[in-house]
Amino acid sequence: MATKQLIYVGTARTETGLRKEIVRTTEFPTHRRYGSKFFALTGPFKTIRGAKALVHYGHHDNPHIQHVSDAERIGLKYAAELKDMPEFSLSA
């Protein structure tokens, strides 16, 4: 049986702001494995679409995404827009 892939969104600090990136893993993410790259991981998400919604619409000033389930709901609503968006985002 294939191992289920877990989907998270990692947030990292850059010189110009924050970077959000989709992370796929088959094991529970730990600080030892991802702590040097990200200061926070959000998830797990049920779909890539939900993770992309958090990456592109889930900024600190968006009160509509407070939880993974909110991102999944918004991802379903804007699925056509999210389909071709990249799996990362940079914000100042």
- Both structure tokens of 30: 């730990």
Residues 7-65: pLDDT tens digits? 999 999 999 888 999 999 999 999 999 999 999 999 999 999 999 999 998 877 788 88
pLDDT over threshold 70, residue 92: no
Residues 73-91: pLDDT tens digits? 999 999 998 988 888 887 6
Give the pLDDT of residue 2: 67
Domain ranges of the chain: 6-91
Per the model's pLDDT, the better-predicted residue between 3 and 83 turns out to be: 83
**How distant, in Å, are the alpha carbons of 16, 47, 58 from that of 43?**
25, 10, 13
Give the pLDDT of residue 1: 57
Contact call for residues 26 and 54 (beta carbons, < 8 A): no
